[in-house]
Amino acid sequence: MPETFTSFMARALHDPQRGYYARRVQTIGAKGDFSTSATLSPQLGQSIAKWLQAESRSMPHVRHIIEVGAGNGMLMETVQKTLNWWQRRRFHWHIVDTSEGLRNQQKQRLGKRATWHTDLGSALKFIGGEAFIYHNELLDAFPVILLQWQDHEWQEVYVDLGGNQPKELLMPHALNMTERDSFSIFQQPPLTANQRAELHLSVRDWLQSWAPCWTAGSMLTVDYGDVFPALYHRRPRGTLRAYLMHQRMEGAEIYQNIGRQDITADINFTDYRSWAAVLGWQETMFSTQAEFCKLSKVSDHQTTNLLDSDGAGGAFKVVSHRKQKPA
Ligand SMILES: C[S@@+](CC[C@H](N)C(=O)[O-])C[C@H]1O[C@@H](n2cnc3c(N)ncnc32)[C@H](O)[C@@H]1O
């Protein structure tokens, strides 16, 4: 029986019994299936610490810091180490993570230096609504709607895993007219015939789910991706891929090793920024990771990969939003 690609990806990554993040992922970094900017270099954490210092000067009443999707806990450890004792103690530190295995690793690394939660809405309610929030490489793990331009319209990719080989099928997509309005790809024709593209409806729904609980603070989003249409320039098959033991998989390989490999897609920052604007959040910065990290002026030569705008430093983007208390 065919299912939408979205439902396949949600099961493969987040099924409570067999999903990659729920059960399989043991660690992130050299010994895991993939590394992140935070496990490769302290530079991102040092830059986030600088961002927190600047934001807390503008909003000194905010006393809680939440990292969402903290991986092996290294990023928060670096952020805490970069701040001095007094700055560190000013804040209460929280982590929101859906993976039990990774939460255990974070607890081993950070001990009593954080409090753990399983969803952002309840974490915000627990602390009274005011927080500085940051996340790195979180959104790319959210399930996508996979579309293909076919016969002069966007069609949705379904997958049938019932036979010997996984089979993809194209069917009309289920997005209604109002939903379509919030996605940039519906606003101009595709770049190439049979172009594939991913929609992060799950990210939009996630933002909307906890936004009413956030009363004041700032949020820093770091992830790979680009604005539209640059995101799909020279990428006719879209940005979807899987990782298993640092090997990149594409096409039919995405349907192999279900629940044992990470599946990910780039973030469309045109969509993301417009969803944040609709929620009334003020955008205070949008830059490449390279530009963001240069601001922290760290000169460790081992960390230059994040400053390379032709490599990871350019592929990753950073966006900062503020939510002000009503006057
Ligand atoms: C790719 S890892 C990034 C880890 C870390 N931020 C870093 O930079 O090394 C994604 C993290 O997000 C967590 N995660 C995935 N979906 C989540 C969700 N909906 N809410 C909270 N955490 C989630 C995973 O368990 C994992 O810790």
The full DSSP string for 233-286 is TT-TT-S-EEEETTEEE-GGGGGSSTTTSEEE--EEHHHHHHHHHHTTPEEEEE
Quick check: CB of 70 below 6 Å from ligand 1? Answer: yes
pTM of the full structure: 0.94
> What is the biggest distance separating any 2 CA atoms in the chain, rounded to whole angstroms?
62
Give the distance (Å) from ligand 1 centre to CA of residue 165: 30
Distance between CA atoms of residues 50 and 79, nearest Å: 9
Please report how the helices 5-14 and 201-210 are oriented relative to each other, as an axis angle in degrees rounded to 10: 60
For the chain, where are the E strands, in sequence order?
Answer: 3-4, 64-68, 92-96, 115-117, 130-136, 145-150, 153-160, 167-172, 196-199, 216-226, 241-244, 247-249, 262-264, 267-268, 282-288, 316-323
Quick check: CB of 97 below 6 Å from ligand 1? Answer: yes
Q: Which residue has the higher pLDDT, 151 or 216?
A: 216
Task: Give the pLDDT band of residue 306 (cuts 50, 70, 90).
Answer: low
Give the residue numbers spanning the domain of 311.
3-323
Q: Which two tokens stand for residue 87?
A: 């700055």
Task: Give the pLDDT band of residue 322 (cuts 50, 70, 90).
Answer: very high
The percentage of residues in the chain with a pLDDT greater than 90, rounded to a whole number, is 75
Distance between CA atoms of residues 107 and 100, nearest Å: 10
| pLDDT tens digits for range 58-109 | 999 999 999 999 999 999 999 999 999 999 999 999 999 999 889 999 999 9
Q: Which of 27, 36, 99 to mutate to test the pocket of ligand 1 (most atoms within 8 A of CB)?
A: 99
Query: Which atom of ligand 1 lies closest to the CA of 264?
Result: 1
Distance between CA atoms of residues 300 and 86, nearest Å: 25
Give the distance (Å) from ligand 1 centre to CA of residue 137: 7
Rounded alpha-carbon distances, angstroms, from residue 35 to 89, 220, 230:
30, 20, 25
Quick check: CB of 114 below 6 Å from ligand 1? Answer: no
Distance between CA atoms of residues 261 and 141, nearest Å: 12
Q: What is the pLDDT of residue 92?
A: 98
Q: Which of 13, 15, 21, 95 to mutate to test the pocket of ligand 1 (most atoms within 8 A of CB)?
A: 21
Give residue 6's Cα distance to chain centre: 16
Task: Give the pLDDT band of residue 309 (cuts 50, 70, 90).
Answer: low
287, 292, 288, 295: which is closest to 311 by C-alpha?
288
Query: Which atom of ligand 1 lies closest to the CA of 74?
Result: 9
Q: What is the pLDDT of residue 300?
A: 52
Q: Which of 66, 98, 122, 209 to mutate to test the pocket of ligand 1 (most atoms within 8 A of CB)?
A: 98
Task: Give the pLDDT band of residue 148 (cuts 50, 70, 90).
Answer: very high
- How many Cα neighbours within 13 Å face the side chain of 268? 26
Q: What's the CATH code of the domain at 51?
A: 3.40.50.12710
Distance between CA atoms of residues 10 and 22, nearest Å: 11
Quick check: CB of 32 below 6 Å from ligand 1? Answer: no
Distance between CA atoms of residues 75 and 81, nearest Å: 10
Count of domains for the chain: 1
Pick from 18-27, 42-51, 66-75: least confident: 18-27
The protein residue whose alpha carbon is closest to atom 13 in ligand 1 is 69
Give the distance (Å) from ligand 1 centre to CA of residue 310: 25
Q: Which of 124, 137, 138 to mutate to test the pocket of ligand 1 (most atoms within 8 A of CB)?
A: 138
Residue 305 has pLDDT above 70, yes or no: no
Residue 299 has pLDDT above 60, yes or no: no
| pLDDT tens digits for range 165-174 | 999 999 999 8
Q: Which two tokens stand for residue 314?
A: 């350019």
Q: Mean of the pLDDT values across residues 271-275?
A: 98
